[in-house]
A and B are shown apart, each in its own frame.
Chain A
Amino acid sequence: MAFWRSKKNQDDEVPQSKSTASNDAGNEIRPVDVQTTASQSGATSTEGSSKSSGPQSKSGSGGLFSKMRGALSKTRQALNTDIRDLFKAEGRLVDDKFLKELFSRLIRTDMGVASAEAIRDDVAQRLRARVVSLEEVLETITEQTQSMLIQESTGLQYAESGPTVILVVGVNGSGKTTSIGKLAHHLHQSGQKVVLGAGDTFRAAAVEQLTVWAGRIGCEIVTGKPEADPASVAYQTVDRALSIDADVAIIDTAGRLQTQTNLMQQLEKIRRVVEKKIDTAPHEVLLVLDATAGQNAISQARGFSDAAGCTGIVLAKLDGSAKGGVILPIREQFQLPVKFVGLGESIDDIAAFDAAAFAKALFAP
Chain B
Amino acid sequence: MFESLSDGLQSAFKSLSGKGKLTESNMREGLDIVQTAMLEADVSYQVVQDFMAHVSERALGKRVLLSLRPHEELVSIVHSELISILGPVDPSLHLKKEGPTIIMLCGLQGSGKTTTCGKLAQLLKEENIKPLLVAADLQRPAAIDQLHVIGKQLGVPVYSDKENKNPVKVCQAGVEKAKAEDARVVILDTAGRLAIDKELMAELQRIDKRVGPDQVYLVVDGMTGQDAVNSAGAFNEALELDGVVMTKLDGDARGGALLSVKHVTGVPIKFIGTGEHFDALEPFRPEGMAGRILQMGDMVAAAREAHRIVDEKEREELEAKMASGDFTLDDFKSMMEKVAKPGLMGKMMGLMPGMGQFKDVLESDEAAGGIRQTIGAINSMTMAERKNPKEIDAQRRTRIAKGAGVQTPVVSQLIKQFEVMKPLMQGMAGKGAGDRMKMMQQLQSSGAMNDPNMQGMKMKKGSGKRLSPSERAKQKREREKLVRKMKRNRK
Which residues in B have their C-beta under 8 angstroms from that of A52?
139
**Closest residue to B39 on the A side, CB-wise?**
A113
Are A333 and B469 also in contact (CB < 8 A) when A173-B112, A209-B140, A295-B42 are?
yes
B218 sits at the interface (CB 8 A): no
Q: When each residue 143-157 of chain B gets 1 if its CB lies under 8 Å from chain A and 0 otherwise, what string results?
A: 101111110010000
Partner of B146, one of A104, A109, A209: A209
A79 sits at the interface (CB 8 A): yes
**Residue pair B149, A51 in contact (C-beta under 8 Å):** no
**Residue pair B203, A319 in contact (C-beta under 8 Å):** no
Are A78 and B230 also in contact (CB < 8 A) when A45-B168, A53-B141, A319-B194 are?
yes
**Residue pair A296, B254 in contact (C-beta under 8 Å):** yes
**Residue pair B166, A107 in contact (C-beta under 8 Å):** no
The docked-state distance in angstroms from the alpha carbon of A297 to that of B234 is: 24
Q: When each residue 73-98 of chain A gets 1 if its CB lies under 8 Å from chain B and 0 otherwise, what string results?
A: 01100110000000000000000000
The docked-state distance in angstroms from the alpha carbon of A171 to that of B224 is: 12
**Closest residue to B251 on the A side, CB-wise?**
A257
Are A306 and B146 also in contact (CB < 8 A) when A257-B251, A297-B223, A321-B196 are?
no
The docked-state distance in angstroms from the alpha carbon of A260 to that of B274 is: 12
A50 sits at the interface (CB 8 A): yes
Which residues in A have their C-beta under 8 angstroms from that of B251?
171, 257-260, 296, 299
**Residue pair A345, B140 in contact (C-beta under 8 Å):** yes
The docked-state distance in angstroms from the alpha carbon of A297 to that of B227 is: 14
**Residue pair A203, B227 in contact (C-beta under 8 Å):** no
Which residues in B have their C-beta under 8 angstroms from that of A74?
196
**Residue pair A294, B108 in contact (C-beta under 8 Å):** no
A window 258-278: CB within 8 A of B? 258-260
Interface residues on chain B, number (Cβ under 8 Å)? 65
A131 sits at the interface (CB 8 A): no
Are A321 and B227 also in contact (CB < 8 A) when A45-B166, A50-B199, A257-B251 are?
yes
A window 109-123: CB within 8 A of B? 109-110, 112-114
A window 238-267: CB within 8 A of B? 257-260
B379 sits at the interface (CB 8 A): no
B391 sits at the interface (CB 8 A): no
Are A204 and B225 also in contact (CB < 8 A) when A172-B276, A295-B254 are?
no
B202 sits at the interface (CB 8 A): yes
The docked-state distance in angstroms from the alpha carbon of A114 to that of B39 is: 10
**Residue pair A212, B226 in contact (C-beta under 8 Å):** no
Q: When each residue 343-363 of chain A gets 1 if its CB lies under 8 Å from chain B and 0 otherwise, what string results?
A: 001000000000000000000
- Point out which of B41, B234, B469 has the most chain A C-beta atoms below 10 A from its C-beta: B469
**Residue pair B141, A209 in contact (C-beta under 8 Å):** yes
Partner of B195, one of A213, A259, A321: A321
**Closest residue to B206 on the A side, CB-wise?**
A45
Q: Taking the nearest CB of chain B, how far is it from the CB of A216, in angstroms? A: 8
**Residue pair B225, A322 in contact (C-beta under 8 Å):** yes
A302 sits at the interface (CB 8 A): yes
Partner of A50, one of B45, B168, B197: B197
**Closest residue to B249 on the A side, CB-wise?**
A257
**Residue pair A46, B110 in contact (C-beta under 8 Å):** no
B471 sits at the interface (CB 8 A): no
A window 208-247: CB within 8 A of B? 208-209, 211-213
Q: Please report whether the interface of chain A is mostly helix, strand, loop or mixed according to DSSP.
A: loop
**Residue pair B221, A290 in contact (C-beta under 8 Å):** yes
Which residues in A have their C-beta under 8 angstroms from that of B147?
204
**Residue pair B252, A204 in contact (C-beta under 8 Å):** no
**Residue pair A290, B469 in contact (C-beta under 8 Å):** no
B298 sits at the interface (CB 8 A): no
Partner of B145, one of A108, A205, A292: A205
A window 295-340: CB within 8 A of B? 295-297, 299-300, 302, 306, 317, 319-323, 326, 333-334
**Residue pair B140, A172 in contact (C-beta under 8 Å):** no
Partner of A292, one of B114, B140, B227: B227
The docked-state distance in angstroms from the alpha carbon of A50 to that of B145 is: 22
Which residues in A have their C-beta under 8 angstroms from that of B230?
78-79, 321
- Point out which of A40, A45, A108, A171 has the most chain B C-beta atoms below 10 A from its C-beta: A45
B256 sits at the interface (CB 8 A): yes
A47 sits at the interface (CB 8 A): yes
A49 sits at the interface (CB 8 A): yes
**Closest residue to B41 on the A side, CB-wise?**
A295
Which residues in B have their C-beta under 8 angstroms from that of A45?
166-168, 199-200, 202-203, 206
Which residues in A have their C-beta under 8 angstroms from that of B254?
295-296
Closest 3 pairs (CB-CB, A-B):
A294-B225, A173-B110, A294-B42
List, sorted by A's number, 6 A–B pairs whose CB atoms are closer than 8 Å. A104-B45, A172-B276, A173-B111, A204-B145, A204-B146, A294-B256
Residues of B whose CB lies within 8 Å of any CB of A are 1, 36, 39-42, 44-46, 49, 108-112, 114, 139-143, 145-150, 153, 165-168, 191, 193-200, 202-203, 206, 221-227, 230-231, 234, 248, 250-254, 256-257, 276, 469, 473
Residues of A whose CB lies within 8 Å of any CB of B are 37-38, 40-41, 44-47, 49-53, 74-75, 78-79, 104, 107-110, 112-114, 171-175, 181, 202-206, 208-209, 211-213, 257-260, 290, 292-297, 299-300, 302, 306, 317, 319-323, 326, 333-334, 345
- 9 more contacts with CB within 8 A, not counting A107-B226, A257-B248, A317-B194, are A44-B206, A50-B197, A205-B145, A209-B146, A259-B252, A292-B231, A293-B225, A302-B469, A306-B473
